[in-house]
Amino acid sequence: MTTTASASALLRSATRDRHDELERTGFAAALFAGTLPLTRYTAQLAALRLVLDELETELSRAAVPSVADLWAAEDLRKVPLIERDLRLFADRGTTPGRWPAAHAAAFAADIRTTAAADPLSLLGFLYVLEGSTLGALHLCRYVSRAYGLDGTDGIGYYTSGDRARWTRFTARLDEALADPAAQDRALAAALRAYGHTARLTEALSAGLTPAQPPSSPGPVRAR
């Protein structure tokens, strides 16, 4: 008997290479090495704020019950955390450097278009962006050390990942995307999300040398 893979298993296996490619960028290497300019870090937060604000807005008003129910089941918002991080740095005199606003706007526009045409596929975007916070958990100590931060100051977004919450999220995702056709559409959205993220990260990596991170356990992958 053939067993159909769950949506989360399909998304994980089909996007693994995209995930690994992001870990080899100049931005990631500098972050691990503690040499990433603070203005690049805040630029990433600014780009994520624009993208996530669009996604969270569209998810909060989705009329498709499975999407609305998943979004309402647990607080997955990240924008308030990013805004708090950016305020802390602004209070210390650091604002985002030149950030990839055009790439972030294109990402947000794709989310908006998808919401209008096929709201269920928004879950592909959410899978990628929620899953990225698990990997970010591994980076917290590098960020705190590089910028002299205490506790969760300046890393509210990076500390927002939660393994137990992720397990609950993927269970709900599997229920919402039980139909194979819906899984395929969500996967297409997830791959587009990785494409947008790659372009954002490439822009943020300008002038930085791509390299493997120092020998250490790799970031936790979304499961």
| Predicted local confidence at residue 120, as pLDDT | 98
* CA within 13 Å, CB half, 90: 10
| Predicted local confidence at residue 65, as pLDDT | 97
Phi, psi of 218 (to 5 degrees): -70, 160
| Predicted local confidence at residue 138, as pLDDT | 84
Tokens of 112: 């908006």
**Every domain of the chain and the residues it spans:** 35-205
- What CATH number was assigned to the domain covering residues 35-205? 1.20.910.10
Instruction: Give the C-alpha separation, 3 to 6, whole Å.
Output: 9
**Phi/psi-derived region of residue 29, left when phi > 0, alpha when psi is between -120 and 50, beta in every other case:** alpha
Our measurement of the distance from residue 189's CA atom to the centroid of its chain's CA atoms, rounded to an integer in Å, reads 13
Is the full-model pTM beyond 0.85?
Answer: yes
The pLDDT tens digits along the chain (223 residues) read 345 789 999 999 999 999 899 989 999 999 999 999 999 999 999 999 999 999 999 999 999 999 999 999 999 999 999 999 999 999 999 989 888 999 999 999 999 999 999 999 999 999 999 999 988 888 899 999 999 999 999 999 999 989 999 999 999 999 999 999 999 999 999 999 999 999 999 999 999 987 554 444 343 344 4
| Predicted local confidence at residue 23, as pLDDT | 87
Please report where in the chains the tokens 């669009």 appear, as a residue: 54
| Predicted local confidence at residue 98, as pLDDT | 84
At residue 203's C-alpha, the angle toward residues 158 and 29, to 5°, is 55
With H, G, I as helix, E, B as strand and everything else as coil, classify residue 214: coil
| Predicted local confidence at residue 135, as pLDDT | 80
